[in-house]
A and B are shown apart, each in its own frame.
Chain A
Amino acid sequence: MAIIGIDLGTTNSAVAVWTPEGPRLIPNAVGEPLTPSVVGLDADGTVLVGRAARERLATHPERTVASFKRRMGTGHVARLGRGQGFRPEELSALVLRSLKVDAEAHLGTGVTEAVISVPAYFNDIQRKATLDAARLAGLPVERLVNEPTAAALAYGVESRREGAVLVFDLGGGTFDVSLLELYEGVMEVRATAGDVSLGGDDFTALLAGLIAADQHVALDGSLPPGERARVVRVAEAVKRGLTGAPEARYEILLGDRVRHGGIARARFEEAAAPLLHRLRAPLERTLSDSGTRLADLAGVILVGGATRMPVIRSLVARLFGRLPLVHVDPDTVVAQGAAVQAGLKARHAALDEVVMTDVCPFTLGIAVTENARTAAATQVMLPVIERNAAVPVSRAHAVTTIHDGQTRITVQVYQGESLRPDDNVRLGEVPVTLPQAPAGAETAEVRFTYDINGALEVEVAVLSTGLQRRQVFRNGANLDEAELDARFAALAAIKLAPRDQAENRALLARADALYAELRGEMRQHVADRVARFERAITEVSGADAAAARAAFAADLDALDDHRFRF
């Protein structure tokens, strides 16, 4: 029985387990540590997750979804084909289920519990949605860990170095910065800031826009979804190409013509300036909130695949006046950290000397009216828990009535840094009733308790009557209990594609995508290879099948290389 750590990412997910030697990554069915967070529906109703689904993005865009983590907590419904709609929680649940199956196959035992990492800047609703996803996947999850904290945990446990460390986590869809202090086995998060809608996907979208502009097409509804997906796919390839070369050339099939083009790194960097600018604000806030000077930083850890981009690396080097950096695998370090957290939770002996303390990255407060005479229109935010307070934390604030004979107080709970409540995220409200009294005579105490998983509990107590109301918010964007049960049953009925065929399916899906993009002779070449491979896997098994797979994969790699010349 084991507790696993899961990094449920925007583009890729990974799972790891704590062993006495340290965190260990668990490979998926295809044998890779990273499972793409993509879900697709096959023609026969089976659900594909991971590599196979990602390859189908270009060929079956209407039956495949990706980047659903960005919609976590919004209640957005994605339709796969003509079938049922899926909420982001359910799509995440499918990914989690696939990861769980991988872990169980690898470990040979059942998985009793999991620790899931979430972006530090995820709000209460998004965290609840993540917990719901785990529940839908049948995975008991008690603990969420912030991604940059997880990265630092993995780093701290591995290196045992001391000092202040800044974690720069630019993932597929989210950006987080955390400043940690490591000493004597204590990993103390001092400050965290971030941007939940900034990540590698935005850079890809930017490149897609550049490519579309070069080819004189519009990236809106006028382009068929298949072609749009192809542009994004090419943009992704160009982004990766620009990592190693000053210019990336591409070839794309749009309409009936194959078009060629190239994007230079300088042009990309110029276009990315607004995105790079958005990276600065969280960095500055983290440094100023933690009261740390740049000179005191012992290291900068780059986390997330998007930090491979040279433009990000040079930005970090410029901002911090040093070359970053601490070398860890930016793709899997979060999963490893989640596994460390799982080990901490299970009280593994090797982690006895390690304590981690985290912070609440945003201000939580209530809307209040400062003065009854200056009209009820001007409500301001009264912070109850200030941002970057160490968690678990419980703080209380007293509020009074402002009207004579007022019998009701609606405590509206907000999250955010703006003085005006409307600019912040509304989490919910707690109504309480009071006895009639003159204005200011009745006092209610509002207590916020923010626990170590980032769950907020609000308790309102009326002092004169002793009435208490306690509430954990699940607002409209979250599912309620009955709905959760119903969806759990519905999801359980859905079959994941069998694990032993996952690899073949992934390769075939990739070949399909290639076929759709190529023309003429090359296309025929792909079709031949696919036919040969399909014959091979029905006739042989075991080692021979593996060899056929390897050969087929090599062919596809060669074709891909031919297509993208960097």
Chain B
Amino acid sequence: MSDAAWRLLDLAPTSDEAAIRRAYARRLKQTRPDDDPEGFQTLLAARDRALAEARRRPPPPPSESPVEVLPAENPAAPDPAPALVVDVSPPSSEPAPAPVVRVSDPDPAPPAAELPLVIDVAPLEADRAQWQAAAALADRLPPLDRDAEGAFADWLAGVRRLPHEPRRGVEEALLHALLAAWRGPDGQPVARRIAATRPALLRAAPVFGWPREDAVIAASLPPRDAAVVVQVLRDALPPAPDDPATVLVRTGPWTCLPLQAGDARAFLDGHPHALRAYEAMLRRAPVARRVSAFALVAPHLWAVAYRRWGVALAALAGLWLSFGLCMVATDGDAGRGAAVAAGVAAVLAWAGTAGATAVWADRILVAGAARAARRAGRRGVCAPGERTARLRAAGTRLGAWNWIAIAWLASFPFVVPYVGLVSLAAHLTGR
């Protein structure tokens, strides 16, 4: 921990950046850069450290009064340097001082009666020391740029020794730091900065099991940031051979996009029912997520079944209609057996053409969808919204091709048996 930094600033650890700046300004006037170059650099480093730490800390709850160090109020421990008091509001102007949290107080616990009846199970899984170690690691995150690889490797070794649950907390801190490191001045991720953290990503990936469909990423970050992280991780890290993160997502009656889970969420963002169905699918079929072959096949089978119920009914109706027409045309006497044979032949022809066409059409569609997804991924890092829009546009294009394919396929069950039967009947009756 950087206690020394806070001590140098004469400030209690806080997440209030303005207070840190004020403390720095106060100390700077005693350590002018032209008088004391080394003191100035130390002070500057302390301030940057404090600011970095403040950004990692959660902001103070709004009801709480600012955290202050007011040694003068404590007669038991008089402070020899009242000039170094950092107070946000001058005490003299406040006749009734707001409640003050003293940093030296070890336990500012609320009254026992007000304790909520919530039992936090997480600390039960690992022992206290490990949680403390995790908190220390989360605080002591080394810089993520290229120069810091050695320090980062040591840090990761520390993380590796932690059990699963405490490790999640560290992972969360790292994710926040990464996001901060990627952001350019306008708040959007910048490719150059992402590239600078790539060595760190490569080192951290095996420790945290990146890339994967990850509850930590989804739970600890806002959805936009989560999508960015998932995308960057996927772009930066080589895919695992049995990458379970690829899921075929049905996007229309027929369309399946092989997508990363993060992409899938972004893709389905505008279709709440589809997103719900997708989440349900992930919940119900965890195996499908893990086994990539099955993940590729299962939604596909579903699509085939869908088509069978939809298109096959129409095809059967057409078949029976043409069979009936055939019976009327041959007038029932000369060739009942021939007519039955013609009916069987018609069924076979229908099944063959429809099946083959369906398989081919599906392969074309799936390949196209895969290409679209790859293209969207290759375009590099872009804003999550833009990426969603691109994927959605790709989905729409595929949808249009779907309808053309449906019309084309649907014509076969009607036309082929009919033409076949009529010509067969004409041949049999000898006309």
Contact = CB atoms under 8 A, between A and B. Distances in A.
B24 interface: yes
A160 to B, nearest CB: 14
Nearest to B18: A183
Interface stretch (B34-42, B119-127, B313-321, B364-372): B34-42
B187 interface: yes
Interface string B12-47: 000000000110111011001110011011001000
Contacts of B333: none
Given A394-B38, A394-B41, A183 B185 contact: no
Contacts of A277: none
Contacts of A392: 33-34, 37, 40-41
B37 A451 contact: yes
Interface string A376-400: 0000000000000011111000000
Given A185-B29, A451-B37, 14 more contacts: A183-B22, A184-B25, A186-B24, A288-B184, A288-B185, A293-B185, A353-B29, A355-B32, A357-B28, A357-B44, A390-B40, A390-B41, A392-B33, A392-B37
Given A184-B22, A184-B26, A452 B184 contact: no
Contacts of A353: 29
Interface string A437-457: 000000000000001100000
B21 A184 contact: yes
Contacts of A291: 185
21 contacts: A183-B25, A184-B21, A184-B22, A185-B29, A186-B25, A288-B185, A290-B185, A293-B186, A345-B34, A355-B32, A357-B28, A390-B41, A391-B33, A392-B34, A392-B40, A392-B41, A394-B37, A394-B38, A394-B41, A451-B37, A452-B34
A165 B37 CA distance: 25
Given A184-B25, A186-B24, A357 B41 contact: no
Contacts of A451: 37
A390 B34 CA distance: 12
A294 interface: yes
Nearest to B41: A393
Nearest to B183: A291
Nearest to A392: B37
A185 B29 CA distance: 9
A353 B32 CA distance: 11
A290 B187 CA distance: 13
Contacts of B22: 183-184
B26 to A, nearest CB: 7
A180 to B, nearest CB: 14
Contacts of B40: 357, 390, 392
Contacts of B185: 287-288, 290-294
Interface in A168-225: 183-186
The 5 nearest A-B residue pairs measured at CB:
A184-B25, A392-B37, A186-B25, A288-B185, A355-B28
A565 to B, nearest CB: 47
Contact of B187 (A186, A293, A394): A293
A186 B25 CA distance: 6
Interface string A388-430: 0011111000000000000000000000000000000000000
Nearest to B193: A288
Nearest to A143: B34
- Interface bin, chain A: 20 to 34
A186 to B, nearest CB: 4
Interface string A324-347: 000000000000000000000100
A288 B185 CA distance: 5
Nearest to B26: A184
Interface in B187-230: 187
A290 B29 CA distance: 23
B28 A294 contact: no
B52 to A, nearest CB: 12
A352 B186 CA distance: 36
Given A293-B187, A390-B44, A394-B37, A183 B21 contact: yes
Nearest to B190: A288
A183 B23 CA distance: 11
Contacts of B24: 186
B25 A185 contact: yes
Interface in B272-321: none
Nearest to B40: A392
Contacts of B41: 390, 392-394
Contacts of B21: 183-184, 186
A406 B40 CA distance: 38
B33 A452 contact: yes
Interface in B37-64: 37-38, 40-41, 44
B292 to A, nearest CB: 41
B33 to A, nearest CB: 5
Interface string A352-371: 11010100000000000000
Given A393-B41, A394-B37, A452-B34, A294 B25 contact: no
Contacts of A288: 184-185
A184 B185 CA distance: 24
A345 B32 CA distance: 11
A386 to B, nearest CB: 10
Contacts of A287: 185
A92 B389 CA distance: 60
Nearest to A286: B185
Interface centre among A294, A393, A394 (most CB of B within 10 A): A393
Contacts of A294: 185-186
Contacts of B26: 184
Interface string A289-316: 0111110000000000000000000000
Contacts of A290: 185
Interface in A255-302: 287-288, 290-294
Nearest to B24: A186
A300 to B, nearest CB: 16
A185 B44 CA distance: 16
Contact of B29 (A293, A345, A355, A393): A355
A393 B39 CA distance: 11
